[in-house]
Chains A and B, each alone.
Chain A
Amino acid sequence: DTAVSQTPKYLVTQMGNDKSIKCEQNLGHDTMYWYKQDSKKFLKIMFSYNNKELIINETVPNRFSPKSPDKAHLNLHINSLELGDSAVYFCASSPDYYEQYFGPGTRLTVT
């Protein structure tokens, strides 16, 4: 059974488009995250939500907007995509602050 799932797995799109990445966790966790891993493999946190409340909002462009319709979902919407947005985006969830469970990632390519 999938614990943290993301869709789509691959996303290829053109500059200027708007796209969304969906994340769902069936673990009953209260906290969810979005991370970005760039081409140099550096993994950085973008957002954190706890019970649908925004906890962490790193310095990311406001073209990125997370949306949490319920505790089990944290979607990432990106407006006006740029070449530099190309990366692998990981969703994660956590039951207790200490452990984080990551999804399989979404590879976004902006052309």
Chain B
Amino acid sequence: DAKTTQPTSMDCAEGRAANLPCNHSTISGNEYVYWYRQIHSQGPQYIIHGLKNNETNEMASLIITEDRKSSTLILPHATLRDTAVYYCIVRGNEHYRDDKIIFGKGTRLHILP
């Protein structure tokens, strides 16, 4: 079972920042937070991951609370192409090579023109 809880769906206006929340209250110390997204009829796409510090890359920013029980993925300037299902995933570090990515139901993000 997925170790995360996400809203089923969200809307965001084009050009605005999309903030996608995720709860992972049972996360353990060696587990990372990952975000993937799946655009309709395509394979999932890796976005970002982090352990406890905030992370930023060319796609998004990941803000993890100090207690690590929740996080927020931020798409700074959402475009129509960002419409997708976004998955928040908790997974152990590389020492657990047989640890799996478990996809939950994700958040369906609609970017509105």
Contact = CB atoms under 8 A, between A and B. Distances in A.
B37 to A, nearest CB: 11
A105 B38 CA distance: 12
Interface in A36-82: 41-45, 48, 50, 55-56, 58
Given A97-B94, A98-B32, A105 B100 contact: no
A43 B44 contact: yes
Interface in A3-38: 4
Contacts of B97: 50, 55, 97
The prevalent SS among residues of B at the interface is loop
Nearest to B96: A97
Contacts of A92: 43-44
Interface of B: 32, 34, 36, 38, 41-46, 49, 85, 87, 94, 97-98, 100-103, 105
Nearest to B100: A45
Contacts of B85: 41
Q: Which 3 pairs show the lowest CB-CB distances between chains A and B?
A: A102-B43, A43-B103, A97-B94
A90 B43 contact: yes
Contacts of B101: 45, 100
A57 B33 CA distance: 23
Contacts of A50: 97
A28 to B, nearest CB: 17
A97 B34 CA distance: 12
Nearest to A100: B46
B103 A98 contact: no
Given A44-B102, A45-B102, A90-B43, 4 more contacts: A97-B97, A98-B49, A99-B46, A103-B43
